[in-house]
Amino acid sequence: MSDTLLTGEDAFCEKIYCHTVKTNEEGRFIVQLPIKSNIINLGSTREIALRQFLLLEKHLNRNPELKQQYAKFMKEYEDLNHMELVNDDEVQKSGYHIPHHAVVRENSTTTKLRVVFDASCKSDANCSLNECLMVRPVVQEELFSIVLRFCSHIYVMIADIEKMYRQILVEPQQTQYQLIFWREDSSQPIKTYRFLTVTYGTASAPFLATRTLKQLALHSVNTFPKAAEVILTDFYVDDVLTGTNSISEALELQTQLIKCCKQGGFNLRKWRANNHQLIENLQPENCDSGHNYYITNDHTVKTLGIHWNSQNDTFQFTINTDIKDKNRVTKRTILSEVSKLFDPLGLVSPIILKAKVIIQDLWILKLSWDDSVPIHIHTKWIQFKHSLADLNQLQIPRCIISDFHIISLQLHTFSDASQVGYGACVYIRSE
């Protein structure tokens, strides 16, 4: 979203950020939570957060392995100075305690356990922290544009920022809104901690994180011009997908990106590339041993998801072949599964279109959400789900150009409403 087009709350949120953002002596950014001006009484969540913590503790005590992972996560938070212990007499009456719980992500290549912080918890004044925060859209380009540009380079690389949210400090006076209860063992007294950094689960966190990346780029235009341009155009949240058309340019870009991000307190890790020269000189702990990078717009598991295989430099599809047909098939279940078909480039749109036609048929029949579908639609749906597994064999070359000098590169798309479809072609002029 262009800053010149901002109005209302978006403009006010941007104004707060620009007027309050600063850096400390280490170069790390300090931001303010964009609190709405009309919020008078946030209220207290102390009692409900305490009750939920005791329930969480019982759950963890019944699962020693999960408890160990949870304690390790919290210990790391404290060791990295992302949270600190506070005395009860330091906690102001206006403080806000955030309940938390565990989510296990089996598909994650790094942290299997994610501790989720619920800043939408209602206080005794029937208000939550998230309701008090302004939510401006993320200030990065759409995923489609980023991935499409990724296809235009000969040499490409990806990486992500380690613990991106937690590298950005929150103004100390506002950390009272980020309190939690925690103790490693139930024999210990319950302690109160406050988060010192941008916290996952707060409504403004995505904006603050992506806007801070943009701020880093603006600060670095003169010192790291190539990196600054990539930060502004090729980052999707904490992932960078970028490249160039020569190894020397790619190495220079990579060096600038690492130095530029480090200057702002961000560490780039999990590097993958389609050429070994872009990996061999990096620290091993910052490289990813796998070849697959999953392109996703969130952290959920998709029925159908696209990934880039850096070893053979192709886009491939990952289909969840564990398809259970035991549940009753209804309009609700079909719509739920169709919504999980994720294909940002439209590479398999003709196949996904079949699912959308089934949805169209259901609307024509005017079925209720939880009515069983007719047998002919049930059969068509089951056949479609089973056929999706064939996409696991599909490999599509990532690079849409060859190794020659490009004068003009254009993408032309067209649609035919009568045929319910569309197409695209790439026009290349070269020397």
What are the domain boundaries of the chain? 3-141+168-208, 213-295, 304-393
Q: What percent of the chain has pLDDT over 70?
A: 85
**Per-residue pLDDT at 135:** 87
Instruction: With H, G, I as helix, E, B as strand and everything else as coil, classify residue 377.
Output: helix
As a whole number of angstroms, the distance between CA 344 and CA 148 comes to 9
Tokens 């010149």, residue?
A: 4
Q: How many residues does the chain have?
A: 431
Strands (E), 245-328: 268-273, 292-295, 304-309, 314-319
Q: What is the mean pLDDT of the chain?
A: 88
Counting residues of the chain whose pLDDT is more than 90, the rounded percentage is: 70
pLDDT digits (tens, 9 = 90+) for 174-203: 999 999 999 999 999 999 999 999 999 999
Model pLDDT for residues 357-412, shown as the tens digit of each residue: 999 999 999 989 999 999 999 999 999 998 998 999 999 999 987 655 666 767 67
Report the relative pairing of strands 179-182 and 191-195 from DSSP bridges.
Answer: antiparallel
How far apart (Å, rounded) are the C-alpha atoms in residues 285 and 283?
A: 6
Residue 425 corresponds to which tokens in the numbers above? 């072609």
pLDDT at 419: 45
Quick: pLDDT tens for 21-53: 999 999 999 999 999 876 667 889 999 999 999
Instruction: Flag whether pLDDT at 305 surpasses 70.
Output: yes
Q: Which pTM value belongs to this model? A: 0.86
SS3 223: coil
Dist. CA 112–CA 116, nearest whole Å = 13
Query: Coil, helix or strand for 254?
Result: helix
- Whether 171 and 284 have beta carbons less than 8 Å apart is answered as no
What average pLDDT score do residues 233-243 get? 95
Q: What angle do CA 16, 22, 27 make, to 5 degrees?
A: 150
Q: Is the pLDDT of residue 421 over 70?
A: no
Residue 420 has pLDDT above 50, yes or no: no
Considering the four listed CATH numbers 3.30.230.10, 3.40.190.10, 3.10.10.10, 3.40.640.10, the one that applies to the domain covering 3-141+168-208 is 3.10.10.10
Closest CA to 85 of 182, 223, 205, 188: 182
The CB density around residue 145, as the number of other CB atoms within 10 Å, is 14
d(CA 371, CA 362): 10
Per-residue model confidence as pLDDT tens digits over 90-126: 665 568 999 999 988 765 555 578 899 999 999 999 9
Residue 249 confidence (pLDDT): 97
pLDDT band at 9 (very low <50, low <70, confident <90, very high): confident
